[in-house]
Structures are given as structure tokens and as C-alpha cells.
Amino acid sequence: MQWQFWIIQTLNSVAFGGLLFLLSSGFSLIFGLMRIPNLAHGAFFMLGAYFGFTLLQLKLQFWLAALVGGLGVGLIGIVMERFVLRRLAGNEQGQVLVTLGVSFIIADICLLVWSGDPMPLPAPQALRPPLRFAGFAFPTYRLVVLAIALAAALALYLLMERTRLGAMIRAGVDDTEMARGVGIPVSRLFTTVFLLGATLAGVGGVLGGPILNAYPGLDTDMLPLALIVVILGGAGSLLGAFVGSFIVGFIYNFGIALVPDLAYFVLFLPMVLVLVFLPQGLFGRVQI
Amino acid sequence: MAIDDYVRSSRTPILSVAGAEDMTQRKPNPWFVRPSCTSAQPSHPLGEYAAKELKCKRVAVIADDFAFGHENVAGFQRVFEDNGGKVVQKLWTPLNAPDYGTYISQLKGDLDAVYTGHAGSNGFKFIRQLREYGNKVQILGGFTPVDESLLQQMGDDALGAITGCWYSAELDFPNNKRFVEAIRRDYKTDPGVYAAETYVCGEVLDHALKAIGGKAEDKNTFMKALREANVPNTLRGPLRFDEFGNAIGNIYMRKVEKKDGRYVNAVVKTYPDVSQFWTYKQDEFLKNPVYSRDYPPAKNLEQ
């Protein structure tokens, strides 16, 4: 029984970590480039789940629904960045508060449109039966989400390291003033990164829907996790978001399994330690 | 319990649906009347039903880690073990847990049933994820996890779940049939315990007011009429109150079945006249500490 326990909890951890990466990568990029924690990020995730629910109700194919739902949230992200955040350029505190306000608005609109009951998103039929091996079972769908997260991580890595856009983003994260100085259109970069981040969160929401359901409160359940990932991994770093997501996945799953009485604290303890000893996180380039 | 002092000082009769046990046990408030149930009231008969009729011997219990979860589970554990069953595993999940995967993976493999004391959407999520992990174990539950308000969305995952509650939309009383039809017509959903409990409060209020000719200004008479209300035909069946103001009425064992394409909580057994003390003597019950995370102590847990 012992080794089975370790295997299943490891699978749980990495599957959860994959989902967290989809949620947190966008958050990390936005935080790194624009120096603000986008407190509407949890709401973006939840909105994606709700969009996914409706698109699936309209019988759209699952993966298509994930893409379309994600882009829908991405558009909302662009609108928020261009028409709200940009008005407060230079006022970082104001921008953070405004993202909080937008998160409330999004949450209330979701409640209005989809009502308060939790909505399950149906996973694709083919992925419903659990994978059975070595005497135990594991939900197939979660492993597929993990695979997608890994593919997304690879795609983002290539974007950041091999494209001009990526180079510009990295320059903006490192030193916004200098980037402007060498002619990088930083304001347009902000919008692009917001589009990217919000879309990632939206796609994460749809993909997470069959596991977590879409329900009022999903936003506030997920946002602290994104914060912890980014604090641990460091803001502005894709590697940080990647490593951080899996660390949080492991801490969450093993922590709960091994010290269940500390379930409420198991994530925050490491976060506090990191803030005290390594405030910029493991790979961070931005002082929080 | 937070407004207990205020209610006493303002002498306001309160019709409550909150489940906190001590409100009608060790800290009884004379202005309090509870037409629904204590958190553990429906769990007691389920404990007996599971042991005696379902012949369950080994059960794991998993519930939300807060007072309601503690009390709801405690009632089940106590009666189940008194009737020969064993609670071999006890898991508490944080109220805001996004994912139950890690808990589901810890459930032992040789259980006769899993009892869930989750409320609201947590029950929904837990049962769903349980089935996703390929775990087909029998589900037992308190009165919240398979509530009618969520049952249609839960679908096949919930089939066969057996829960104890003082209400089911399937109850055959004329008042209930009218209620269910009206809710279906106006809200396109089935009423569950959350809708029924407030309606029953209204029924009790109506009965009491009729008894005193509508003179609610005299608080003492009004309160007395509420406490002494013996309403034979509420949604849940006959209803009256004990000396602490807590409901005494039927508790139904319900099984989730599919009927005419809808998922329903079919009533498989009725325990009549159930009080908050079950078959225990009132004085002994009250001498014990209130039900909590560690009381009654779980003596049969296995590593």
C-alpha cells in the first residue's frame, strides 16, 4: 500500500501543478511586466470556466470551447487593460485596487448570468473512464490536462526565448525604463501580455472546469494559489511559474495527506518562509 | 450561536434553520424555535440504518472541517458504532478545498461505504471526483450533499447514494405536492431541504398565529404558541417541538434514483417521531460534551 500511496499522491500533485501553471503563468507575466498583481486573475479563470460551460452547452467541441473560451476572457483582459488600467498609468496602487474592483464586477456578473449553483463542465466522453494500472485508478482527464500544461509551458518558453516578442517582454520585465528608451513599445506590450495572461487563465478555467466545476467563489479559491505560486517561483519568470506551480502542487497534496490537521496552513507556511528569506522568490526578477 | 445573547436581550422569537446543536441542548435559548433539525438529528437514524439494514461494517467518514461537519458526522458515528459498525477512517477537508484528489486517494480500499458530511457545492464536487477516480463505493451522507437543488446536475455520479433528511421532494403529503409543483413551475427546479426548511418555518408561524388569534405583540404568549405548535400536515409530515424548541418529526432515509428521466431522493424508510436525542436518554445526552471533531472519540480508526 505504501508505494501506491506515493505514486498516486505524486500524480495528484503534478496534475494539480499543471492546472496551477495555466492559472499562474499569465499572472506571473503580468506581475513581472506591469509590476501589479492582477487581482482579477482568479475572476478571469472563473469566467473562463463559465464561458466553457455555456460553449459546451451549445455542443461546441471540447478543445475548441477551451480555445474560444480562453480568447473570450483574453478580450475582456484587453478591454480592462486599455480602458481601465491605462487611465491609471503610473499609479500602481490605483491599478491594483482597480483590478480588485473588476474582479468583484466579474464575479457579480457571473452570478447574475449563470446563477449561484455549481455547474459541472463535462469532460470529453473518451477521457471519462479512469486509467487503471498497477492496481489503482487515476482520472484520465487530469493526466491530459497535465500534458496540455506541459505543452503550454513549452510553447511559452519558445515564445519568450526565441521570438522578438518574447525578447521585448523580457526586456520590459528587466527594466521598463530602458526598454522604452531603446524604442520598445512598452504600452503595446502591456496590452499583449494582458491578452496572453487573461487567455491563459481563461483556457485554464475551461480545462479546470471538469475537475473543479464552475461556481461562485472559484475566483477567490484560485487567486491565493496563483499568488503563492508567484511568490514562491518569483514574479516575471516563466521558469518560476513552472517550478512554483509544481512545488505548490506537491506541498498541497502531500501536506494535506501527511499533516491533515494543518490543511488550512500547509500552503501559507512555505509562502511566509519564502517572503522572509527570499522575497523575490526562487527565480524572480522583481522585488515584491 | 453568535446572536444568542442579542436574541435573549431583545426577547425576539426566532424561527431558525441553523443546525448548531447547543442552541437547543446545553445553552438553550427560550426564544428559539427550530423547525428543521440539529446537525446530527438526521445522522442518528442513518447510523442505525447503515448498520442494521445496509449491513455496513467498515465505513470511512469525510466532511467539511467546521462545526456543522463535525456535528453531522458525530451523530452518524455514534449510532453506527453503537449498532456494531466501525468508522475506520476519518478525514476532514478544509471548507475551501479546491480539489479532493488527495483525500480520495487516501480512502481505504475495503470500505463498505463512505459517509460524506459536505455541505453545498463541496458535496457535489466530492462525489463527482470520487467517481472520476473510479471509486464506486456506496455513498452515505448527511442531509446536504445530494440536495435536490444540485441533484439534477450531479447525474449518474450520485445514483444509489443514501442520505438521511427530514425532507424529500418526493414526500407524498398534499402540502408537499402543492409546494413541489409550485416551485417547479416558478423556478424550474426541484425544492430541496434549503427551500423546504424556510417554508416549514412559515407553516409553523402560520399555525401559531392562528392559535393566538394573530396577537403577536404579546411576546410570551406568542413564544408559547410557537413552542407548543403541533402541526399535523407540514411539508415534512407531522411536526412538533421538544422542551428546548427543537423539532420532533419524521426522518426519511432517501436513496438517489432515476425516475422518469429525473434524479430524485426516493424515500426508502421513514423513522417517525425522531427527536434531537435519538434513543438516548435526554439527561445522559446533555451530560456528554457537545458533538465536535473529537467527540464521540473514534476508537476504531485504522492507520
Per DSSP, the residues of B13-54 read -EE-----GGGGTTS--TTEEBSS--TTTTHHHHHHIIIIIS
Predicted confidence (pLDDT) at residue B2 exceeds the cutoff of 60: yes
Chain A, chain B: beta-carbon pairs less than 8 Å apart: 81
Residue in A25, A17, A34 with CA at minimum distance from that of residue A198: A25
CA distance A3 to chain B (A): 12
**Dihedrals phi, psi of B263, to nearest 5 degrees:** -90, 130
Subunit contact A252:B102, Cβ cutoff 8 A: yes
Residue type, B14: I
B153 shares contact with chain A (CB less than 8 Å): yes
Give residue-wise pLDDT tens across range A155-167.
Answer: 999 999 999 999 9
Residue A50 and residue A113 in contact, taking contact as beta carbons nearer than 8 Å: yes
Predicted confidence (pLDDT) at residue B18 exceeds the cutoff of 90: no
Count other Cβ atoms within 10 Å, centred on residue A6. Answer: 11
Subunit contact A256:B103, Cβ cutoff 8 A: yes
Burial of B131-144, coded b for 16+ CB within 10 Å and e otherwise, reads: bbbbbebbbbbbbb
Subunit contact B92:A263, Cβ cutoff 8 A: yes
Give the pLDDT of residue A83.
92
Give the pLDDT of residue B42.
92
Give residue-wise pLDDT tens across range A226-264.
Answer: 999 998 998 888 899 999 999 999 998 888 888 877 777
Q: Which of B94, B125, B153 sits opposite A263 (nearest CB)?
A: B94
Q: How confident is the model at residue A285 (pLDDT cuts 50, 70, 90)?
A: low
pTM (two decimals): 0.84
Q: How confident is the model at residue B15 (pLDDT cuts 50, 70, 90)?
A: confident
For A2-277, which CATH class?
A: mainly alpha
Give residue-wise pLDDT tens across range A176-209.
Answer: 888 889 988 988 888 999 999 999 999 999 999 9
Give residue-wise pLDDT tens across range A125-161.
Answer: 888 888 888 777 889 999 999 999 999 999 999 999 9
Give contacts of B263 with chain A, Cβ < 8 Å: none
Give the pLDDT of residue A287.
56
Instruction: Report the complex ipTM.
Output: 0.78
Give the pLDDT of residue B194.
85
Give contacts of A229 with chain B, Cβ < 8 Å: none
Predicted confidence (pLDDT) at residue B30 exceeds the cutoff of 70: yes
CA distance B81 to chain A (A): 24
A9 shares contact with chain B (CB less than 8 Å): yes
A16 shares contact with chain B (CB less than 8 Å): yes
Give contacts of B153 with chain A, Cβ < 8 Å: 117-120
Q: How confident is the model at residue A1 (pLDDT cuts 50, 70, 90)?
A: low
B99 shares contact with chain A (CB less than 8 Å): yes
**CATH 3.40.50.2300 domain locations along chain B:** 4-38+172-249, 43-169+257-287
Give contacts of A124 with chain B, Cβ < 8 Å: none
CA distance B3 to chain A (A): 26
Across chain A, mean pLDDT equals: 90
Count other Cβ atoms within 10 Å, centred on residue A158. Answer: 11
Give residue-wise pLDDT tens across range A72-103.
Answer: 999 999 999 999 998 888 888 899 999 999 99
Subunit contact B149:A213, Cβ cutoff 8 A: no
Cα(B290)–Cα(B89) distance, integer angstroms: 21
C-alpha cell at A79: 478591454
Give the pLDDT of residue A140.
92
Across chain B, mean pLDDT equals: 89
CATH, range B43-169+257-287 = 3.40.50.2300
Beta-bridge partner residues of B141:
B116, B163
Give residue-wise pLDDT tens across range A46-65.
Answer: 999 999 999 999 999 999 99
Q: How confident is the model at residue B218 (pLDDT cuts 50, 70, 90)?
A: confident
CATH, range B4-38+172-249 = 3.40.50.2300
Angle at B123 between CA B117 and CA B129, to 5 degrees: 120
Predicted confidence (pLDDT) at residue B3 exceeds the cutoff of 80: yes
3-state secondary structure A97-121: HHHHHHHHHHHHHHHHHHCCCCECC
Give residue-wise pLDDT tens across range B286-301.
Answer: 899 888 888 898 888 8
What whole-number percentage of chain A has pLDDT above 90? 54
Give the pLDDT of residue A142.
92
Q: How confident is the model at residue B120 (pLDDT cuts 50, 70, 90)?
A: confident
Give the pLDDT of residue B164.
92
Subunit contact A132:B149, Cβ cutoff 8 A: no
Please give the torsion angle defined by the CA atoms of residues B205, B211, B217 and B223, in that order, rounded to the nearest 10 degrees: -60
Q: Which of A118, A139, A222 sits opposite B150 (nearest CB)?
A: A118
A122 shares contact with chain B (CB less than 8 Å): no
Please give the torsion angle defined by the CA atoms of residues B115, B117, B123 and B125, in that order, rounded to the nearest 10 degrees: -70
Give the pLDDT of residue B63.
93
Average pLDDT over residues B224-248: 89
